[in-house]
Chains A and B, each alone.
Chain A
Amino acid sequence: MAATLAPPRLLPSGDAAIAVEFSRNVDDAANQRVLALDRALAEAPVSGVTETVPTYRSLLVHYDPTKISFDALGEKLVSLAQHPLRPTTKSRRWRIPVSYGGEHGIDLEDVAKALNTTPETIVARHVAGDYRVAMIGFTPGWSYLSGLEKLLHMPRRQNPRLLTPAGTVSIGGVQTGVQCLAGPSGWHLLGRTAVRTYQLHRDPIFLLEPGDRVTFFPVDAKTFAEHDRAAQAGAIVAELIAP
């Protein structure tokens, strides 16, 4: 590994945030650097930084412009980002139950047809994946996962749906994801999980962190219903495999 890495681009996002851009594409190496910079800022906070938002390819660093200037903060961020990536010592790993197909995954059959295979194969491939939470965004708990295998890459729907159910597990482009709240989506719906990635009055309110590892396992609709009742009452349902 080189002593220093290529510097990221610093893009002002208004006068109170800097987008630290490592790539313009969905890029696993870039996402690793995003998460490494995020970790570095968490471990050694820079005065004036108010919060950070990791995405696939950039880290949005919110700051108070009355406490630190764009130039001063930019210099610190570039310096932190050019240090070689330290290996992640403790990624948490989650196993998340999914009820695939049927009313829970209304696009499973169509996805299988479009990819010239069977629904069983789609489920088997999706379950075999080892994913990482690349970012959480859009709405509370909407977790975008990287690591989707090529066979499952598919363009998004031409016509996004205005309402998709809470707990939907879906694929879109080169990504898969778990959404917590009902809402619009242009992705293909493979199944549903009872796991709430965001739930008020539960500890923790947010279950997943950017950088966490995730695998899925299939459950039947009856188990989903049982999990859903338990989750409603505050159970986490997902299995945490200690790092």
Chain B
Amino acid sequence: MSKLVIASIGPASSVQDGGRPGSQRYGLTPSGAMDRLALAAANTLVGNGLFAAAVEVGPFGAAFTARRGAVRIALTGASRSADIGGHAVALDASMTLADGETLTLGLARGGSFSYLAIEGSFVGEPMFGSLAVNARAGLGSPYPRPLQPGDELLTATASGAAEQRIEIPAIDTGPIRVLLGPQDDEFADDAKKLFLEAEWKISATSDRMGYRLEGPVIRHLHGHNIVSDGTVNGSIQVPGNGAPIVLMPDRPTTGGYPKIATVISADFGRFAQIPAGTGFRFKTVSIGEAQDAAQKFAELLRTLPDRLRAIESFDLNIEALQDANVAGSAVSAVDAGTWQ
């Protein structure tokens, strides 16, 4: 068995998967990946189930070293520099780290989270069917907390399968689509208009529980306390200070602030990837449009395997590739620009 050692890692990095829905009635938040499409794409590249556990890497740099054998991995999500032993590697592609080799990631630029999937995933004890970290509830495996340098993920030795890349459709850069409500009637038309017309930024104090928004103050009609009701990923609640908070996968399952709107499920991952300080807008859609978008998103997830492409052999140094296969060393040392 090989292992992937976390050589260095910043905050907001943890093991995540499809999460553990099903126990919200007991106050247990579902957790799971911030960007499910990027998680699914990374897993598809290494032949895992779409929502197998992977490393969700936050906006800061990180480094991963293979030990006791080669480890096959794939990297998707936020754009950032990535290299193996100083040789740049491409995102949205699989690659194999030979024993002792290190993948080094730079700061996220354009995006917040990357997903590092490992072929065959890694050893852990699922709780409620998930390895996802929820530190507050003591859940997550192999570590019930964010990752730290020195942590190790035990995994199968690399299969030697041909490396692949994946073509993910260009990300929509338009406004984040929302459905008004469920408590939009707690806000005057002016306040709703302001919410929809303003440019918003995500505060640097945001985390996996909630993204705090910076922008105009949104006033309530009748005060900021409502009787608690249930929350979803993307609920936009407005507390007493008028600064909206968008609830993320580690959210409380119920909340007592009025929710002016809800990010539609198809745009949730795209929203989660908006870096702190970058301006964006919301726009409303109808429930019908939101559900059409959900259908399209589900279809995209379902057809990810059809989007895999062989890495063209002429893009690689064949001799090096053959040597690598014999020696079990990296076969993905392709320049990032080679096939873009």
B263 near A137 with CB under 8 A, answer no
Digit string of B140-173 for contact with A (CB within 8 Å is 1, else 0)? 0000000000000000000000000000000000
Q: In the complex, A25 Cα to B228 Cα: how many Å?
A: 9
B182 near A11 with CB under 8 A, answer yes
Does B179 touch A at the CB level, under 8 Å?
yes
Nearest CB in chain A: distance from B24 CB, A = 5
What DSSP secondary structure best describes chain B's contact surface? mixed
A15 near B230 with CB under 8 A, answer no
Q: Given A24-B226, A50-B21, A65-B265 in contact, is the A15-B291 Cβ separation under 8 Å?
A: yes
B229 near A55 with CB under 8 A, answer yes
B179 partner, pick from A14, A25, A69, A140, beta carbons under 8 A: A14
Q: Given A17-B230, A181-B137, A200-B127 in contact, is the A50-B22 Cβ separation under 8 Å?
A: yes
Nearest CB in chain B: distance from A93 CB, A = 19
Does B23 touch A at the CB level, under 8 Å?
yes
Nearest CB in chain A: distance from B195 CB, A = 16
Q: Given A16-B294, A139-B136 in contact, is the A62-B252 Cβ separation under 8 Å?
A: no
Digit string of B321-333 for contact with A (CB within 8 Å is 1, else 0)? 0000000000000
Give the B interface residue count (CB, 8 A). Answer: 44
Q: Given A53-B25, A65-B295 in contact, is the A13-B252 Cβ separation under 8 Å?
A: no
Does A129 touch B at the CB level, under 8 Å?
no
Does A136 touch B at the CB level, under 8 Å?
yes
Q: Given A66-B298, A140-B26, A140-B27 in contact, is the A13-B265 Cβ separation under 8 Å?
A: no
Nearest CB in chain B: distance from A241 CB, A = 21
Does A135 touch B at the CB level, under 8 Å?
yes
For A137, the chain B residues whose CB sits under 8 A away are: 27, 228, 230, 252-254
B294 partner, pick from A15, A57, A198, beta carbons under 8 A: A15
Q: In the complex, A183 Cα to B22 Cα: how many Å?
A: 23
For A140, the chain B residues whose CB sits under 8 A away are: 23, 26-28, 137
B291 near A19 with CB under 8 A, answer no
Q: Give A208's nearest chain B residue, CB to CB.
A: B26
Q: Given A51-B22, A137-B254 in contact, is the A11-B230 Cβ separation under 8 Å?
A: no
A52 near B25 with CB under 8 A, answer yes
Q: Give B252's nearest chain A residue, CB to CB.
A: A138
Does A102 touch B at the CB level, under 8 Å?
no
Q: Give A15's nearest chain B residue, CB to CB.
A: B290
Digit string of A173-189 for contact with B (CB within 8 Å is 1, else 0)? 00000000101000000
Q: In the complex, A17 Cα to B27 Cα: how many Å?
A: 16
Does A84 touch B at the CB level, under 8 Å?
no
Interface size class of A (residues with CB under 8 A): 35 or more
Q: In the complex, A229 Cα to B182 Cα: how many Å?
A: 44
For B127, the chain A residues whose CB sits under 8 A away are: 200
B21 near A51 with CB under 8 A, answer yes
The A98-142 residues at the B interface (CB cut-off 8 A) are 135-142
B181 near A17 with CB under 8 A, answer no
The B155-208 residues at the A interface (CB cut-off 8 A) are 179, 181-183
Digit string of A11-44 for contact with B (CB within 8 Å is 1, else 0)? 1111111010101111000000000001000000
Q: In the complex, A53 Cα to B232 Cα: how many Å?
A: 11
For B183, the chain A residues whose CB sits under 8 A away are: 11
Q: In the complex, A198 Cα to B293 Cα: how many Å?
A: 37
B181 partner, pick from A11, A16, A25, A136, beta carbons under 8 A: A11
Does B66 touch A at the CB level, under 8 Å?
no
B291 near A65 with CB under 8 A, answer yes
Q: Given A14-B264, A136-B27 in contact, is the A53-B136 Cβ separation under 8 Å?
A: no
B254 partner, pick from A11, A53, A69, A206, beta carbons under 8 A: A53
Nearest CB in chain B: distance from A64 CB, A = 8
Q: In the complex, A37 Cα to B1 Cα: how many Å?
A: 50
A14 near B27 with CB under 8 A, answer no
Q: Give A210's nearest chain B residue, CB to CB.
A: B25
For A53, the chain B residues whose CB sits under 8 A away are: 24-25, 230, 253-254
Q: Given A65-B295, A137-B254 in contact, is the A13-B227 Cβ separation under 8 Å?
A: no
The A32-82 residues at the B interface (CB cut-off 8 A) are 38, 50-58, 60, 62, 65-66, 69-70
Does B259 touch A at the CB level, under 8 Å?
yes
Q: In the complex, A125 Cα to B182 Cα: how many Å?
A: 37
Q: Given A14-B235, A19-B229 in contact, is the A136-B22 Cβ separation under 8 Å?
A: no
Q: In the complex, A114 Cα to B182 Cα: how many Å?
A: 36
For B79, the chain A residues whose CB sits under 8 A away are: none
A136 near B26 with CB under 8 A, answer yes
B227 near A26 with CB under 8 A, answer yes
Q: Given A52-B25, A53-B254, A198-B137 in contact, is the A14-B232 Cβ separation under 8 Å?
A: yes
List, sorted by A's number, 25 A–B pairs whose CB atoms are closer than 8 Å. A12-B181, A13-B182, A13-B259, A13-B262, A14-B232, A15-B265, A16-B232, A19-B182, A21-B182, A25-B227, A51-B21, A53-B254, A55-B254, A60-B231, A65-B295, A66-B295, A66-B298, A69-B291, A137-B27, A137-B228, A138-B252, A141-B26, A183-B136, A198-B27, A198-B137
- 9 tightest A-B contacts by CB? A60-B230, A137-B254, A11-B182, A15-B290, A14-B262, A53-B230, A206-B26, A65-B294, A65-B291
